[in-house]
Amino acid sequence: MNGIRIAPSILAWNLGELEKAVEISVKGGADQVHLDVIDGHFAPNITFGPGTVRALRPLTDLKFDTHLMIENPQAYVEKFLDAGSDLISVHAEVLDGPRFDELYRTVRARGKEVGIAIKPQTQLPGWALERLDKISTLVVMTVNPGFSGQKMDMSVMPKLQKIGEVVEDRGGGADIEIDGGVEPENVREVVKRGGNVLVAGAGVYAKKDPVRAISVLREKAESVRRQ
Ligand code: DX5
Ligand code: ZN
């Protein structure tokens, strides 16, 4: 089982001062910075693109965990690699095996990591299961893509449980990233089912002390692991 990692989602901060959001992640000891890219087609919001990733890149060496909620990831993946993304997660809903393979080759040729993301109602497709050993991260969304600050959808838990078991059995070593509505109160539910990377937007940036909120999530997750 991979170690606990905390990934603040800067979408939850004031988009006019994203440098500050990254600074908070760094100060709080986050493991990676989660960057939510939404194109207004795949999900009902428009956030930011490679230009923003590039502008933030000099601020930190932390892993840039780029979650592409876009309909045509093939067309943009190189732009995000050029901008400094370290992990690029693409949605299973807009890909199939051959298209994923092409994208995978592009990312791996640059030495970066690939993840596969699924929406709350999506089951992991067969082609993705067959490629589990290739990906570094499986992003299990626990809210519908679009916005920060939604409540975690607990109906995803049986699927997460199965995914946790499959990843454990195959020993592929992929991180299981939980994305959506993560708060100290539900960390136990996702960590006990195998989630190890906790994305938190509001769970960090809407707190009074966001720097401290990062260690609160970490301590909670580590304590579940110790039990
Ligand atoms: C939703 C995004 C999430 C979101 C997380 O479209 O993929 O990463 O910003 O924010 P919270 O933790 O507030 O749900
Ligand atoms: Zn996300």
Ligand 2 centroid–CA 140 distance in Å is 9
Structurally, the chain folds into a number of domains equal to 1
Q: Which of 18, 33, 36, 65 to mutate to test the pocket of ligand 1 (most atoms within 8 A of CB)?
A: 36
pLDDT at position 171: 72
Dist. CA 141–CA 188, nearest whole Å: 16
Cβ atoms of 114 and 134 closer than 8 Å: yes
- Would you say the CB of residue 149 lies under 6 angstroms from ligand 1? yes
Cβ–ligand 1 distance for 181 under 6 Å, the answer: yes
pLDDT classification of 124: cutoffs 50, 70, 90: very high
Residue 145 in contact with ligand 1 by CB distance below 6 A? yes
Catalytic residue annotation = 36, 179
pTM here is 0.98
Q: Average the pLDDT over 156-183 and give the result.
A: 95
| Full domain range(s) for residue 121 | 5-226
- Output the domain CATH number for residue 115: 3.20.20.70
Task: Please check the confidence at residue 167 and state whether its pLDDT lies above 80.
Answer: yes
Query: For 3-60, how does the pLDDT look when each residue is reduced to its tens digit (9 = 90+)?
Result: 999 999 999 999 999 999 999 999 999 999 999 999 999 999 999 999 999 999 999 9
Distance (Å, whole) CA 131 – CA 52:
30
Strands (E), the chain: 5-8, 32-38, 63-69, 87-91, 113-118, 137-141, 175-179, 197-200
User: What pLDDT does residue 170 have?
Assistant: 85
Work out which ligand 1 atom sits closest to the CA atom of 200.
12
**Ligand 1 binding pocket includes 152 (Cβ within 6 Å):** no
